[in-house]
Amino acid sequence: MKNFTMSALALGLCFSAFAQEPVNSAAVQKIRAEGLDKSKAMDIAYHITDVAGPRLSNSPGLKRAQDWALKYFNEIGLKNVHLEAWGEFGKGWQVDKYYAATTLPFYRPIIASPKAWTPGTNGPIKSEVILIKADTVTDLAKYKGKLKGKIIMIESVAIQPLKNSYAPDVVRFNDEALNNIMKPMEPRTGRPGQAGGNNQRAMMLRMMANRAAIDSVLLTEKIGLKLTYARGSYGTFFTSNGASYKLDAKPVSPELEVSSEDYLHILRLLRGGEKVEMEAEVKTSFYDKDPKGYNVIGEIPGTDPKLKDEVVMIGGHYDSWHSGTGATDNAAGSTVMIEAMRILKAIDFKPKRTIRIALWSSEEQGLFGSRGYVKEHFADPTDMVTKPEHAKLSAYYNLDNGTGTIRGVYLQGNAAVKDIFQSWLTPFEDLGAKTITINNTGGTDHQAFDGVGLPGFQFIQDPMDYNTRTHHSNQDVFDRLVEDDLKKSATIVASFVYHTSERAEKLPRKEMPKPQPPRQ
């Protein structure tokens, strides 16, 4: 095990370049010693992934993980620990059983997963696989009365043979890549809804409407199981939902998302005129007794009489998809944030401002947990009328880009924090964290805060195999986590939180955004 602890002299030398923003070298030493040499990150991640399992929104797995977090927060001494409802989500769902294999022309088990929020097969089924060739609902007329209980695939010219990839799965940012991240992005010209974008959107809507109409006919025909092609290769497949989670969602047919190699194998046989037979059993359960969504909240209370009502927040989304155990998306980010809180408690830190952690739910369906929390506590983006807590938040820090270690920070266009963050990163240059970029990054929960004029930030992380292998895939499991990376990230986050809580002033803010139309 590497020892990353720096000497006081080395730390002191790091701080001289940014004397305008004080850095507490003694505190950084304590944080590094605890975070890098006494880490509990992998034990935390183990409980979130291996023990709790997949954490699809409102599923039993998410509830197990939330219950464990509540217990752990209390064990490490956090206060005001609770589940907080953010609004109505809908139905939970989980896979209780899955099995599928071809039996003709020979036996072969199939790598696949039921699509989220789809029903089961109501027991074992065995059927010839039927390749349906239908571009429109009218084309289905010839299949009427012939599909009941059958396993079907829909022909599509869009499905092409696989090509080998010669790029590495796992990568870290080199200096050139980090320099490119630092370059300001060119302003976007036009909007997707303009000019050619209108035609593209119209085409997409027509395709979706046609596919929905075909699926409606297949449901009426009472098919046994639908096989769909899953993006990915080399045994990895990326999953999705096959139906709505809304309480009043329309019924759909059972559906398996099949790995590309297995799907293409069956498709080639059917196109070649061979008979393919398959057996399968899928059992899924729905949970609708409590349709509300919840976030897990815990705090280290502030101690300064003047500043204790102000808040520094950290968080990451706790929910995941269902084909893996959500390790890199986003047990990794949740682990880092929980470990950062543990580090601060372990060094007996008594912050001036209150430090609050939030583990969000339903990020995968639209940042629902964080957006609901922000709307309740800070401001509604549709009118931008601020609530009293809006003035008291100093910053929100988020982590949600896999297991890769922190390499810097996206400023979200907030140039006023650049020198502050550069000072706070300096003690961690030996860990590779030194990059500051004015650019924005999206797709995760800091956007909820940034969207109402609050300082919300996502850290820059090494990509690793997040986009190539683990993001929303069946390979998103504990074994894809990198211990040293989680330790480094938690240590850096703990130091950022420490210094944010101890500043004389809250972090600078950007101009308040204009009200946004309600999301559709």
Whether residue 41 is contained in a domain is answered as yes
DSSP H helices, 101-233, are 175-182, 196-220
Q: What is the mean pLDDT of residues 419-438?
A: 98
Please check the confidence at residue 520 and state whether its pLDDT lies above 90.
Answer: no
Q: How many domains does the chain have?
A: 2
Q: What is the mean pLDDT of residues 27-37?
A: 98
Query: Could you tell me which residues are beta bridge partners of residue 118?
Result: none
Q: Which of 262, 287, 312 is the last residue of a domain?
A: 287
pLDDT tens for residues 186-197?
Answer: 765 444 344 456
Share of the chain above pLDDT 70, in %: 94
Judged by DSSP in three states, 314 sits in strand
pLDDT at 14: 44
DSSP H helices, 117-259, are 175-182, 196-220
Judged by DSSP in three states, 82 sits in strand
Whether residue 282 is contained in a domain is answered as yes
Compare 200 and 446 and report the one with higher pLDDT.
Answer: 446
Q: What is the mean pLDDT of residues 75-103?
A: 98
Confidence of residue 240 (pLDDT cuts 50, 70, 90): very high
pLDDT tens for residues 258-286?
Answer: 999 999 999 999 999 999 999 999 999 99
Q: Which of 270, 287, 304 is the last residue of a domain?
A: 287
pLDDT at 134: 87
Could you count the other beta carbons within 10 Å of the beta carbon of residue 99? 14
Edge-to-edge strand ranges of the sheet holding 151-154: 108-109, 92-104, 277-287, 125-132, 151-154, 225-229, 255-258, 112-114
Amino acid present at 364:
E
Whether residue 415 is contained in a domain is answered as yes
Domain of residue 319 covers 17-89+291-502
Do 359 and 296 meet the contact criterion of CB atoms below 8 Å apart?
Answer: yes
Do 91 and 249 meet the contact criterion of CB atoms below 8 Å apart?
Answer: yes
Whether residue 203 is contained in a domain is answered as no
493 and 361 within one domain? yes
Structure-derived torsion over alpha carbons of residues 379, 317, 400, 490, reported in degrees to the nearest 10: 100
409 and 265 within one domain? no
161 and 56 within one domain? no
Mean pLDDT of the chain, nearest integer: 93
258 and 310 within one domain? no
CA–CA dist 343, 498 (Å, integer): 10
CA–CA dist 389, 226 (Å, integer): 49
pLDDT tens for residues 458-504?
Answer: 999 999 999 999 999 999 999 999 999 999 999 999 999 999 999 99
- pTM of the shown model: 0.93
Domain containing residue 250: CATH number: 3.50.30.30
Could you count the other beta carbons within 10 Å of the beta carbon of residue 434? 15
CA–CA dist 93, 62 (Å, integer): 10
pLDDT tens for residues 285-344?
Answer: 999 999 999 999 999 999 999 999 999 999 999 999 999 999 999 999 999 999 999 999
Amino acid present at 358:
A
Q: Please name which of 474, 198, 221 lies closest in space to residue 329, comparing C-alpha atoms.
A: 474
Whether residue 468 is contained in a domain is answered as yes
pLDDT at 189: 46
pLDDT at 10: 42
Q: What is the mean pLDDT of residues 361-381?
A: 98
Residue 412 burial (10 A CB sphere; 0-12, 13-18, 19+): buried
Whether residue 191 is contained in a domain is answered as no
Report helix angle 25-37 to 8-15, nearest 10: 120
315 and 444 within one domain? yes
102 and 58 within one domain? no
Please check the confidence at residue 362 and state whether its pLDDT lies above 60.
Answer: yes
pLDDT at 333: 98
Whether residue 196 is contained in a domain is answered as no
230 and 274 within one domain? yes
Q: Please name which of 286, 263, 360, 327 lies closest in space to residue 474, comparing C-alpha atoms.
A: 327
Query: Could you tell me which residues are beta bridge partners of residue 29?
Result: none
356 and 304 within one domain? yes
pLDDT at 9: 37
CA–CA dist 236, 239 (Å, integer): 10
Confidence of residue 225 (pLDDT cuts 50, 70, 90): very high
pLDDT at 188: 54
Whether residue 205 is contained in a domain is answered as no
The residues, any chain, with a CB within 8 Å of residue 168's CB and separated by 6 or more, are none
131 and 75 within one domain? no
397 and 330 within one domain? yes
346 phi and psi, to 5 degrees?
Answer: -65, -30
Domain containing residue 487: CATH number: 3.40.630.10
315 and 411 within one domain? yes
pLDDT tens for residues 102-142?
Answer: 999 999 999 999 999 999 999 999 999 999 998 888 888 99
Tokens of 509: 């803010």
pLDDT at 437: 97
424 and 329 within one domain? yes
CA–CA dist 219, 389 (Å, integer): 49
